[in-house]
Amino acid sequence: MPTLWGCLDQMDEALSGTRWILLRTVLPGGTAIRIRAYLGEQALIARGTERVELSRVKVGEFVEVTYHRGQAGFMEADTIYVRPDHVFVAEGSEESSSGFSRGSWNGR
């Protein structure tokens, strides 16, 4: 299944219930592009293993989007995986405010 990785740039939910996302990604060679994808009723949005609502996803978060070509020719997202909020830290290490451990991994 085709997959895109990037940062969520914008979310739009019309009064009619139509939902769209705008994904910002970088192509090989450094060219940045924005890709618009339609979210159908069956689209799965998950953070780690937990299903979440689109309203709980923040602009700027790193996401992985699987998609297919929809009936009208639009890119239709099948799944949106959002990087989990928390990072598991080894016992006895400090966790920074960003959620990443300081000095707990030494490359061994």
DSSP string, 32-56: EEEEEEEEEEEEEEEETTEE--GGG
Q: Provide mean pLDDT across the span 12-28.
A: 87
Report the alpha-carbon distance of residue 74 to residue 64 in Å, rounded. Answer: 18
As its CATH architecture, domain 3-82 has Beta Barrel (2.40)
Report the alpha-carbon distance of residue 44 to residue 38 in Å, rounded. Answer: 12
Of residues 102 and 59, more confidence is placed in 59
pLDDT (tens digit per residue) in 40-97: 888 999 998 899 998 899 999 999 999 999 878 889 999 999 988 665 555 554 444 4
Q: Residue ranges per domain, the chain?
A: 3-82
